[in-house]
Each structure stands twice: as structure tokens, then as C-alpha cells.
Structure 1
Amino acid sequence: MTSLKIGLVDLDTSHPGSFVPIVREMGHHVTGVFDSGTIYPPGYASTFAREHGIAHACETIEELVERVDAVFIHSCDWDLHVQHARPFIEAGKAVFIDKPLAGNARDLQQLIDWGKDGSILTGGSALRYCNEVKEWRERGIGTEEWVYGLVGCAVDEFNYGIHAYSMLHGLMGAGIESARYVGETTQQQFELAWKDGRRAMVSIGKTSGYLPFYASITTQKQVEFIKADNNRLYQAILENVLPYMAGEAPSPISLDELAEAEMAAIAAKMSAERDGALIRIQDIPLSEVGYNGGLFAQQYKAMKFPVSR
């Protein structure tokens, strides 16, 4: 097994600290970190490195590039993902981009292009790879059995909402063609359609309490409810992506297929803004703003560090 020297870019969320022990258990080394200061004050990278036994807190991304074989990008401002990934891609390093991959079609297309050019690049939501989705798919229920599905979660429409899109994508596979806003009952509901005619709904948005990641699946022969075990999510995604990042396995999913979840979410947002018009993924213009990562980062920081009045 190839042992990777792994770096971390941006320490905004709980994911970097949660990933480190799993990465180590799988035989890899976390050798450096860099934080751009979106959420935490200057010096936090050194604190994080000390607390997690990481040798180097780098002052620049370029310094980190020289120290690692692979990088995990955890910026909560998804508009920084392409910018942060670029120097690693250009240096031929393996790159993982945490969810959401990006919030606009232009950035997603750049990731897809890098993938087509042979870069080792992956990422996204752990719900795409969760054990419950894998187990359901391995049971081999064919597309001819499909009737309808509903997948949902709480908290917000994109940073968390992307988990619902990704879980549905994991269950039904690639081929999302369009999204359509159908209404709102506390949460927003969107119907996604696949190229082969299958359809399913995503229900996302803030609720008064936390909801699990769930799916209700109806086929011609059964109805099934699936609830993801949060305690196993990070292990599942790392088991899928690290062998690929180490050059020991093929990509678990191509970038153009992986980006379908984010593209579907952007199409859904456009549909809501256009009174429920059906929006085809292929028709989303590269100039479409989609979801604003900088604005989300401001809100996330305010929530994490509320100002006393």
C-alpha cells in the first residue's frame, strides 16, 4: 500500500479534525496544514497542527504543495475551491475537495475539465458513498422497478442540502437531466428527473429541529426507508477515495458524474427563482451565480463566533 503525505487546506469546519485519525488509521500521514483565515484568526493553523500532531503549519499554499503528495481542501467558502486546488493540480498532486464542490457552473466545469485532463481529483459529499446507499445498490434493484423516491435533510439549502442531492444521486446513479421547484412546506421541495425517465424529490432547508439524512424509496415491489448512520460517513468516503488518490484504484466516480449533484442543486435554485420553471442541467449558463460561497462563509463565521452585544 502506498502511504501518502497529505496536506489540509482551510480548517473551517469539523471535517479536517475528524478526517485526520481515519486517514492515519488507513496508513497515511498528515504532514502539513494551511489556513487562509476565512473563519479562524491568524495563527490558528499552528494551533490546529499542534493539537493534532502535524509537523508543519505552512504560511502559504505553495509551501504546502512542496510537502505533500495529496491535499484535502475543506474551505467552507466553496468559491475558493478552484483557486486553492489549482497549484496542487498544476504540480500533479492528488486533490480532494470537500462538499459542496462548487456553487456555480463555471467552477464545476473547471473541475470536470481537470478530471478529463487526467488530474487525480475527487471529493463531494460523504452521502454519495455512505454504507446504506452502497448496501441498497448492491442488492441490484433494477431501474425498471422504479416508482418514486424522496430524499431529504435539514439545516440549509446547499451546504447541507447538497447531502440530500448526493444521497439521491448515489441511490439512483448518474443521468440527472433537470430540476423543478414544486413548492414549500417549511422546507423547499424539488423534483429531479433522470434521462431514462425516473423521477424523485429532494426536500431541503431549515427546520426547527435537526433531521437525519434519509431516503424513502418506492419500487414496484417494495417500499423502503433508509437513514444514514452519521458515525460511519467519514470512514465510508475515505475508504472510497484514498485508494484512488494513492494511485491504487480507479476513480470511484468521474468528475462529470460527481458534479451532477451540485449542478442539480443550481438548477433547482434557478427553478425556484423562476416560479417553478423546469431547468435542464445542460442549459445552465457558465455565468449563472448559483450559490454564493463568500456569503455563506460570512454567515457560518457569524454562527460559529457570535458577536456579544
Structure 2
Amino acid sequence: MKLHSAALFFFLFAAAPLMAADEPAPVKIGIIGLDTSHVPAFTKLFNNPKADGDLAGFRVVAGYPGGTDYPPSRDRVKKFTDGMRDAGVEIVDTIPELLAKVDVVLLESVDGRIHLQEAIPVILAKKPVFIDKPVAGSLVDAMAIYELARRHNVPCFSSSSYRFSPGVVGLKNSEQVGEVLGAETWGPCSYQAGTPDLCFYGIHGVESLFTLMGGGCESVTRLKTKDVDLVAGVWSGGRIGSFRGIRGGKSTAGAVVFGKNGIVSSMDGASYEHLCREIGKFFRTRQAPVSPEETIEMFAFMEAADESVRRDGQPVRIAEILKQAADQVETRLQEISSSTKGAAGQGS
């Protein structure tokens, strides 16, 4: 039986809203800290109408500019905020205002020193959060973030994009390497005052090193010259991993792995797409691809590197650095609890 054209038009018109209603609403992403190039790059990936796989089904809908007096923040926050506004993302004045509009959060502030401060309301609001590198401005703050997230059962993870780059992942899984006996990574290493020396940009190479070596670093020794940092760690079983940070000129990023089956190198760098795919999967599954323990150990590695310099290049044990920080974390959490209770009382 043939439908009359008018009836067919009515059927299609009436059915359209029903078909659209079957499509799940996108997961709404909010971004805290509009002062890094990661912000437009990540937004473009998640808001791409042709996004597929773990990138599909998300929408960056709101952004909170934030910012500090740190030059890479201070000098770029307006440019990136204006760009996000032009891209149709709503700009809000406060983190609570942002949290009321979104399902999940990307904490992107380029200045790691304020990450704990910005993460607290996100965790208390129980919003899953990805915290861009570095997870915090100190080991104590990093441990406080993860402990706060654990206590409130909030999914949380942090990573450099280098961890998921095809070159690094390829080395980790290479049959040509086999069992990893050691690794060396290298790359640029500019500093930020007020954080561990390797924390700002050297973290990319350190993240790659831990991706290849895994956890279990026991001690760290650092040699610091005018243009180069050479940081060597001894892992359990006597394996050795090192990072060479280049400060005196341009440097590419790379890695070499020493394995039972052979020695293989890669010159691959960052991959925003692969990182964002992991973030998308994390937001859906609530399962972090990087454990808090490994990220905390990686931060202890960076702080131990600073301590080694203060001790004239002597080895520093990771366990010592972790214990010193752990002794301060509970005090930090009590301070957070008191301040949040006080803020809640003032608002009541």
C-alpha cells in the first residue's frame, strides 16, 4: 500500500523528534583554567561533530578562565578565553557556577601550584576530573588531591600526553624489546619557580620514563649542569632508568628501551588525540588508566631529584621523600576540611 505524499511527510516530520530523542544527550564537560594551548586543542577534539570512539558523545559547554601571576598563565588566559567564547563555549565567573552546568571536569590550569585549590570544589561536588600535568605544585598537594578523591569516591587521574603517544606505547609493548631492563628518555626541561624543577616541562620525559619502567623506583640521583639535567633512578631488581632534560637550547623528545630481546628507540612526542581518547574512556568507565600510586611515585621521583642536588648529587631514597610528604598530608587535609566547613557556614 502506498502512502499519500502528505501522509508520508507527516510521518517523517512526526518521527524526527522521536528518533532524536533516542540519541543520548552528550556528556557535558567543563574546563577549569583557560590559560594553556591544551584548552582549544582538547575542545576541538571533543566538540568535533565527526568524533568517534572514545571521543564521541562529549561536549565542552563551559569554561572558567582562572589564571595566576605566572607569566605563561597571565599572558595567555585572555587569548584562550576569547577563543573559547568565540567557539561557543559559555564562560563563567566561578568554579561553583561551572560545576552546576557540567557532568565532568578537565582541570587544565597551566600553573600546578593552584591545582589542589581548584580540585577541592570539584571533588566535593563529586564530579569525575582529569587533572592535566602536573597534578599539583608539590608532592604533598598531589597526595592530598588523591586522598581527598579517595575519601569522596571521586574518579580522578592525571597524565602527560606523552604517556599515550604511539611511540612510547609502541616501545612499551614491543616484542623486539621484550622484558624491560632499563630505559632512557630525553626532552626539553624548563623550570617553574615554586615547584620541583622537573615538574613543569621535564614531566613529559619523566612520564615517558615511568610509562616504560613502571612503578618501583627506589632511589634517585641527579647531576645538574648549566644546560642539562641528568636524573637516574634505580628500580627494584637493579633496573636503571634515566631522564636527560635539556635546558640550553632546542630539544626533541625521545626514548630508548633496553630489553631482553633488544634495544629499541623512538623519537615520538605528544599526542593530544590519544590522551583525549583515554580521558573520554575514563569519563565513561570511571576507571583511571594511570594509578594514583604511580603518579605519586613519579612526583616523588621529581622531588627526590631536587633533594639530590641539595645533597651535592648523592642518591636519595624515594621512601624517604614519600614519608616526609605523608607526614604533612593529614595536616593539609584537616586544613581543607576546616576551610570548607567555614565556607559552608558563611554561605548558610
State the Cα distance separating 1:142 from its structure 2 match: 4.5
State the Cα distance separating 1:171 from its structure 2 match: 1.0
State the Cα distance separating 1:258 from its structure 2 match: 2.2
- State the alpha-carbon separation in 2 of the partners of residues 46 and 185 from structure 1: 37
Give the secondary-structure state (helix, strand or coil) at the position aligned to 2:188: coil
- State the alpha-carbon separation in 2 of the partners of residues 112 and 200 from structure 1: 26
Give % identity.
26
- State the alpha-carbon separation in 2 of the partners of residues 8 and 193 from structure 1: 38
Aligned to 2:27: 4
- State the alpha-carbon separation in 1 of the partners of residues 297 and 248 from structure 2: 26
Task: Say if 1:45 and 1:251 are closer, same or farther in 2 by CA, change over 3 A.
Answer: same
Q: 1:47 aligns with which of 44, 65, 82?
A: 82
Aligned to 1:99: 133
Question: What is the correspondence of 1:141-180 to structure 2 with a 5 Å cutoff?
Answer: 141-143=177-179, 146=181, 148-156=182-190, 157-180=198-221
Q: Which has the higher helix share?
A: 2
- Structure 2: which amino acid aligns with 1:262? F
State the Cα distance separating 1:226 from its structure 2 match: 0.9
State the Cα distance separating 1:182 from its structure 2 match: 3.5
State the Cα distance separating 1:273 from its structure 2 match: 1.7
Aligned to 1:297: none
Matched, 1:255 2:289: no
- Equivalent residues of 2:35, 2:109 under 8 A apart: yes
- Equivalent residues of 1:104, 1:286 under 8 A apart: no
Matched, 1:243 2:277: no
- State the alpha-carbon separation in 1 of the partners of residues 119 and 282 from structure 2: 17
Task: Say if 1:183 and 1:57 are closer, same or farther in 2 by CA, change over 3 A.
Answer: closer
Unaligned runs of 5+ in 1: 290-309
- Structure 1: which amino acid aligns with 2:38? H
Task: Say if 1:42 and 1:267 are closer, same or farther in 2 by CA, change over 3 A.
Answer: closer
Length-normalised TM-score, structure 2: 0.74
- State the alpha-carbon separation in 1 of the partners of residues 105 and 154 from structure 2: 13
Which deviations, in whole Å up to 9, do the C-alpha atoms of 1:245-292 show, x marking residues without a partner?
Answer: 22x262212112123222211111111121112112221222999xxx
- State the alpha-carbon separation in 2 of the partners of residues 155 and 180 from structure 1: 17
- Equivalent residues of 2:213, 2:241 under 8 A apart: no
- Structure 2: which amino acid aligns with 1:99? K
Length-normalised TM-score, structure 1: 0.83
- Equivalent residues of 2:63, 2:92 under 8 A apart: yes
Task: Say if 1:222 and 1:262 are closer, same or farther in 2 by CA, change over 3 A.
Answer: same
- State the alpha-carbon separation in 2 of the partners of residues 214 and 220 from structure 1: 20
Which deviations, in whole Å up to 9, do the C-alpha atoms of 1:155-185 show, x marking residues without a partner?
Answer: 4143110001000111111222221114537
- Equivalent residues of 1:155, 1:207 under 8 A apart: no
Task: Say if 1:37 and 1:100 are closer, same or farther in 2 by CA, change over 3 A.
Answer: closer
Aligned to 1:193: 234
- Equivalent residues of 1:7, 1:68 under 8 A apart: yes
Give the secondary-structure state (helix, strand or coil) at the position aligned to 2:158: strand
Which deviations, in whole Å up to 9, do the C-alpha atoms of 1:17-61 show, x marking residues without a partner?
Answer: 11111122222101100112321589667623322221x210111
Question: What is the correspondence of 1:1-309 to structure 2 with a 5 Å cutoff?
Answer: 3-24=26-47, 25=51, 26-27=55-56, 28-38=58-68, 39-40=74-75, 47-54=82-89, 56-117=90-151, 118-139=153-174, 141-143=177-179, 146=181, 148-156=182-190, 157-184=198-225, 186-209=227-250, 211-230=251-270, 233-246=271-284, 248=285, 250-284=287-321, 285-286=324-325
- Equivalent residues of 2:128, 2:155 under 8 A apart: yes
- Structure 2: which amino acid aligns with 1:149? A
Task: Say if 1:254 and 1:186 are closer, same or farther in 2 by CA, change over 3 A.
Answer: same
Question: Greater relative contact order (Cα 8 A, min sep 6): structure 1 or 2?
Answer: 1
- Equivalent residues of 2:115, 2:137 under 8 A apart: no
Give the count of matched residue pairs. 282
Task: Say if 1:137 and 1:155 are closer, same or farther in 2 by CA, change over 3 A.
Answer: closer
